[in-house]
């Protein structure tokens, strides 16, 4: 099915498939191609409206009976680490950060495989080979970096990686992975905390975390950061209690695809 706006990118919707976050529900995604000279402008504009990038595609959940997948970001100026998060920073103080161009290496892929085999052995990415991994990293029409975390204390120097887009108003954490032995040190939390510091150093106001799903244990960690706000009903607002979003699970909570597309604000891609 295709929906489009006049003189604008075309939008499509995927076929329904089982939801990875809420049992018994089906998910669909609204998406559009990200290409050409206007790719950066489009990525910036749609990221502010709850879209995420995957290679040369921008997508947003668009389920027929549910709107529980809510885009989340951290307002850097409002972030204050908790005692627990300060302990995470201390436990990971031995890690060194380095930023690289989006070019896949065998070392990264081996770490990626260890991560998937340990945490997501039955997930949708479980069968990704080196070529598919390289495509995930390298097929980007926007400003992207690989943020690597290394340690001289371990036999395997590379410990964690985050594929990160640099937007006009923040950092978008596209995908991160880490060595299974790091799990006790909360590396996922550490990577987010470090991205907050990177954004602060660059003078960027936000760190985009992807989607938060109320009621999903897999996504609960995103609500633990001070300064989190979510995109709902066409605007960003401070995160409230999980129960305040119960209506998002109702079948009538989601607009039709045509209504959703009509509400999307697009940049003027005709400008040089």
pLDDT per position as a tens digit, 144-161: 999 999 987 775 789 999
Position 22 pLDDT exceeds 90: no
Lowest mean pLDDT among 47-61, 161-175, 217-231: 217-231
Q: 152 lies in a domain?
A: yes
Q: 21 lies in a domain?
A: no
CATH number of the domain that 107 lies in?
Answer: 3.40.630.30
Torsion region of 50: left, alpha or beta (phi above 0 gives left; psi -120 to 50 gives alpha) = left
Angstrom distance (rounded) from CA 213 to CA 207: 17
Domain that holds residue 81: 76-208
Q: 192 lies in a domain?
A: yes
Q: 246 lies in a domain?
A: no
Q: 149 lies in a domain?
A: yes
Position 189 pLDDT exceeds 80: yes
Which residues contact residue 232 at a Cβ distance below 8 angstroms, ignoring those fewer than 6 apart?
Answer: 70, 245, 248
| pLDDT at residue number 6 | 45
In terms of Cβ atoms closer than 10 Å to its own Cβ (0-12, 13-18, 19+), residue 73 is: buried
Q: 23 lies in a domain?
A: no
Q: 169 lies in a domain?
A: yes
Q: 98 lies in a domain?
A: yes
Angstrom distance (rounded) from CA 242 to CA 228: 13
| Whole-structure pTM value | 0.90
How remote is the C-alpha of 157 from its chain's centroid? Answer: 25
Q: Into how many domains does the chain fold? A: 1
Lowest mean pLDDT among 36-50, 119-133, 204-218: 119-133
How much is the average pLDDT of 78-96? 96
Choose between 44 and 153: higher pLDDT. 44
Place of tokens 């890690």: 95
Choose between 198 and 262: higher pLDDT. 198
How much is the average pLDDT of 239-261? 71
């Amino acid at each position: 099915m295709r929906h489009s706006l006049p003189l604008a990118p075309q939008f499509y919707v995927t076929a329904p498939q089982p939801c990875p976050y809420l049992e018994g529900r089906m998910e669909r995604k609204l998406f559009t191609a990200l290409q050409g000279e206007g790719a950066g402008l489009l990525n910036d504009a749609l990221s502010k409206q709850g879209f995420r990038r995957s290679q040369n595609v921008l997508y947003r959940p668009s389920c027929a009976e549910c709107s529980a997948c809510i885009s989340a970001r951290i307002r850097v100026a409002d972030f204050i680490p908790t005692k627990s998060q300060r302990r995470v920073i201390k436990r990971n103080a031995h890690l060194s950060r380095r930023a690289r161009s989006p070019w896949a290496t065998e070392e990264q892929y081996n770490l990626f495989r260890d991560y998937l085999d340990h945490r997501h052995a039955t997930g949708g990415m479980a069968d990704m080979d080196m070529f598919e991994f390289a495509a995930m990293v390298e097929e980007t029409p926007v400003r992207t970096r690989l943020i690597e975390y290394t340690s001289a204390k371990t036999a395997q120097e590379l410990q964690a990686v985050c594929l990160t887009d640099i937007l006009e108003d923040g950092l978008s954490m596209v995908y991160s992975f880490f060595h299974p032995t790091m799990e006790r040190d909360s590396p996922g939390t550490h990577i987010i905390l470090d991205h907050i510091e990177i954004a602060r150093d660059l003078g960027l106001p936000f760190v985009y975390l992807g989607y938060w799903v109320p009621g999903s244990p897999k996504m609960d960690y995103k609500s633990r950061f001070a300064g989190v706000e979510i995109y709902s009903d066409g605007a960003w607002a401070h995160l409230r209690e999980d129960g305040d979003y119960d209506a998002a699970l109702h079948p009538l909570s989601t607009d039709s695809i045509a209504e959703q597309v009509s509400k999307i604000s697009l940049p003027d891609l005709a400008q040089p």
